[in-house]
Amino acid sequence: MSNIIKAFINIVNNYETNVQTLTQGNNRANNMGEGLENYIKDVFANTLNEENSATKLETLSETFSYQGNKNNPPDLILKNSDAIEIKKIESKNSAIALNSPMITTACRACED
Q: What are phi and psi of 30, to 5 degrees?
A: -65, -40
Lowest-confidence segment of 6-15, 24-33, 50-59, 101-110 by average pLDDT: 24-33
User: What's the confidence (pLDDT) of residue 6?
Assistant: 95
Neighbour tally for 13: CB within 10 Å: 12
User: What's the confidence (pLDDT) of residue 54?
Assistant: 97
pLDDT digits (tens, 9 = 90+) for 23-70: 666 776 666 678 889 999 999 999 999 999 999 999 999 999 999 888
The answer to whether 102 touches 69, Cβ cutoff 8 Å, is no
62 Cβ contact partners less than 8 Å away, ≥ 6 residues apart: 45, 79
20 Cβ contact partners less than 8 Å away, ≥ 6 residues apart: 35, 38, 39
Mean per-residue pLDDT of the chain: 86
- Distance from C-alpha of 101 to C-alpha of 112, rounded to nearest angstrom: 19
Angle subtended at Cα 74 by Cα 92 and Cα 1, rounded to the nearest 5 degrees: 105
User: What's the confidence (pLDDT) of residue 69?
Assistant: 84
